[in-house]
Structures are given as structure tokens and as C-alpha cells.
Structure 1
Amino acid sequence: MSNDLELSVTRLIDAPVELVWKIATERLTEWWCPKPWTTEIVDHEWRPGARTAMIMRGPNGEEHPTEGIVLEVTPNTRFVFTDALKAGWIPQTAFMVGFFEFADEGGKTRYTAGARHWTAEAKARHEAMGFTEGWGKVAEQLAAIAEAEARVDA
């Protein structure tokens, strides 16, 4: 599904969906933000309604805390989250709904990650922040981990 307020990246990963999903959900800190940035998981559960809180840290001491909730978890297929709500269904200023999708493509994984925005201004701001480059780098990092694991498992 796509609309005019959506940004997304896609990548074909040379590893099976189950492996890519496992790495995506169990090794989040290794791929979640572009290196040399790091991710600290403050709170995160893989279930709808759960709090997701992280701090992304840059190489020059930058900190970017995020908080939201998980909206959907469909194993080996998709996870969706938003920053429109905090835990306990407490509204906060919304920026996006993020999604990560995993689909089998002949034994490989079609990975699609994206963000849907409330306004054209929010979408433009996200583009200007480097969405395509940053989320593309994250896809590359996830692919590198999954493809290395797939070679070991082969």
C-alpha cells in the first residue's frame, strides 16, 4: 500500500524470510540506525500495544530519543509502530507510522521499510532529514547481517 504521504525503501536480501525476521527482531541494536550511530533499547516488546522506546546516539554526542507504541506484529511478515501515542494510549505529537515488511521472493527476502506521515510538511521534513539515505543504510546493514548468517547456515 502506498500513498502520497509515504516514504519507503526496498531491498532484496539474499536470505530466507524466517532468518531475516529473526535478525530484525532479535538483533535490533545491530541494524536499527545508520552506523556510526548506535541504538539503545529503553523498552521494547514485540506485541501490539507495547511501548517502544529507544535512544539513537551519534558519534558527536547527539541523542535522539524516540517513544511510541507497537501497532502490529505479524511474524515473518510485518511490524508496524507509531510515535502518535505513548504507552498507556497517551497521545503525543505525531510524526509518522513506521512499517517494516518481509516477503518471500524465491527463497530470498523482499524487505520494505517505510513511514506514513500525517501531513505533506512532515513527509518533506523526513525527506530532508535524509530518509532515503538513512533508511537505505539500515536496509544495507540488516542485509549484511542476514546474508552473512545465511552463508554460515548453508
Structure 2
Amino acid sequence: MNETNDLSITRLIDAPVDRVWSIVTERLTEWWCPKPWTTEIVELDWRPGGRSAMVMHGPNGERHAQEGVFLEVVPGERFVFTDAYAVGWQPQTPFMTGVFAFADEGGKTRYTATARHWTAEASARHEAMGFAQGWGAVADQLAALAEG
């Protein structure tokens, strides 16, 4: 993997890590995709090898299913998921691995979300899809929930 295939967004959230982590894991439907899109959770099994399956619904009837597995879950610190596998380690065509990190910064939380792509082409395609705006909006939504 080449770090140049990573796209990343970061925010300093004015809330402690435990509050942010709680919102991330318990209120995912409220922040996971940019509004007016909504998130339907199919299954979130927060453990390595656990299923990560959701459907994002757009305002005009768009439907984007996400199916993958968690690779790592360290409560209060980070979670990593990939769509390279379905549950049971069944290979599928990959798009990215998501790395979400949460670090204490003086009682606030440094949130960093990274999309790691297998190829420069996939990274460029994700960037062209509006990565910065979309993942930035998601970070803002998470911050608003945690700071509210």
C-alpha cells in the first residue's frame, strides 16, 4: 500500500474522547453520511472480523450499500474497516479501507478519518466523488453532536 493513495480529514472536536466514541458507536446514523442522505444500519458487529453493513439513502432515491468487516476495534482509540472482505473473510472487489482515529488533545478529541485505497486511480475516483466535502460534512456533523 502506498500512503499517497490515502485521503484524510481531521477535526479537533471540543468534547472528550469518551463522549465522541460513544456518539460514534451508538449514534452512527446521525453522523455517518452527509445530510440530507440517511444511514440504515444492517449490522454493526464492533469486533475484528465482525460485519460492517449499512445502506446510505439519498434524497432522490439513491441507494449505496456498504458491506465489509471490521479489521480492528480499539474502544476510545480507533476502528478500521474494509470492503475487501464480506463477513466470514469472503473476498470481494475492494474500494477502500477506512481508518478512524480518536486522540485526546487537552480534553478535546482529535478525530482523523482516512480512506486508504489500493490504487492511485481508486483514490482519485474517491476524491472526484467529493471526498473532502462529504467526509468534511460528516466530521462537522459528528462534532456538532459531540459538542451539543
Please report the TM-score for the alignment, with normalisation by the length of structure 1: 0.94
Distance in 1 (CA, whole Å) between partners of 2:52 and 2:10 is 23
Written as runs of structure 1 = structure 2, the 5 A alignment for 1:1-154 is 3-148=3-148
Deviation at 1:98, TM superposition (A): 0.3
Runs of 4+ in 1 over 2 A off after TM superposition: none
Q: In the alignment, what sits opposite 1:152?
A: none
Gaps of 5+ in 1: 149-154
User: Counterpart of 1:25 in 2: which secondary structure?
Assistant: helix
Q: Deviations over 1:59-118 (max 9, x none)?
A: 000000010000000011000000000011100000110011000000000000011000
Deviation at 1:45, TM superposition (A): 1.1
Bigger CA drift: 136-145 or 2-11? 2-11
Q: Deviations over 1:33-75 (max 9, x none)?
A: 0000000001111101001111000000000001000000001
Distance in 1 (CA, whole Å) between partners of 2:15 and 2:98 is 23
Paired amino acid for 2:95? F
Distance in 2 (CA, whole Å) between partners of 1:20 and 1:125 is 30
* Corresponding residue pairs, total: 147
Distance in 2 (CA, whole Å) between partners of 1:35 and 1:5 is 26
Q: In the alignment, what sits opposite 1:151?
A: none
Distance in 2 (CA, whole Å) between partners of 1:41 and 1:109 is 25
Identity of aligned residues (%): 72
What is the root-mean-square deviation in Å for CA atoms of aligned residues? 0.8
Deviation at 1:3, TM superposition (A): 1.3
Gaps of 5+ in 2: none
Q: Deviations over 1:108-139 (max 9, x none)?
A: 00000011000000000000010010000000
Please report the TM-score for the alignment, with normalisation by the length of structure 2: 0.98
